[in-house]
Amino acid sequence: MRQPSEVDIQIEVAVLKNRLDHIDESIHGIRDQIEEVEQRVMRLERTTYMLLGGLILLQVWPSLQGMLNTL
């Protein structure tokens, strides 16, 4: 079995660097997607809490009206 030449090693290093660059780009893309999903989840949480507050207010509203009418 022959020993790899300096050129063979340089080619292999270049190939590995290229692969590393592609992996790095993919990781950045995935991080961006994760951040976007986190933002969406936060917006959904806010909306859910607002809707829940509205439902609670609607359930309590008749009692509040009754209390205000007795004053």
pLDDT digits (tens, 9 = 90+) for 32-45: 999 999 999 999 99
Q: Give 40 or 2, the one with higher predicted confidence.
A: 40
Nearest to 6 by CA among 18, 14, 21: 14
Please state whether the predicted TM-score (pTM) of the whole model is above 0.85. Answer: no
Which pLDDT value is given to residue 61? 92
**pLDDT given for residue 68 in this prediction:** 86
Distance (Å, whole) CA 17 – CA 35: 27
